[in-house]
């Protein structure tokens, strides 16, 4: 199932990914730090949601209490809720 998540309070405007069961596939960010987010997307591809969520939940960026990776967690949790 494919998901699109409109981010809040971070540079990327959107996070897109596919879930095959609990496995994250085809993760991409629209906007943000292109090189870093492409690298992180490659590292996360093929991982289970339950491995990624605790790793990045609450991750901050500079003085902000949010980050691209924290928004990914929010998107994954929303997707998980839809699948329940």
Q: Which pTM does this prediction carry?
A: 0.95
Cβ-Cβ contacts under 8 Å for 74 (sequence gap 6 or more): 5
Work out the number of other CB atoms within 10 angstroms of the CB of residue 6: 11
End-to-end CA distance of the chain: 13
Looking at residue 31, its pLDDT comes to 97
Asked if 57 and 49 touch (Cβ cutoff 8 Å), the reply is: no
Looking at residue 84, its pLDDT comes to 85
Asked if 46 and 23 touch (Cβ cutoff 8 Å), the reply is: yes
The string of pLDDT tens digits covering residues 21-80 is: 999 999 999 999 999 999 999 999 999 999 999 999 999 999 999 999 999 999 999 999
Looking at residue 49, its pLDDT comes to 97
DSSP state of 64: B
């Amino acid at each position: 199932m494919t998901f699109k998540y409109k981010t809040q309070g971070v540079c990327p405007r959107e996070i897109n990914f596919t879930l095959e069961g609990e496995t994250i596939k085809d993760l991409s960010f629209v906007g943000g730090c292109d090189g870093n987010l492409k690298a992180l997307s490659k590292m996360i591809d093929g991982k289970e949601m339950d491995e990624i969520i605790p790793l990045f939940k609450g991750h901050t960026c500079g003085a902000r209490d949010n980050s691209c990776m924290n928004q990914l967690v929010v998107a994954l949790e929303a997707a998980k809720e839809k699948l329940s």
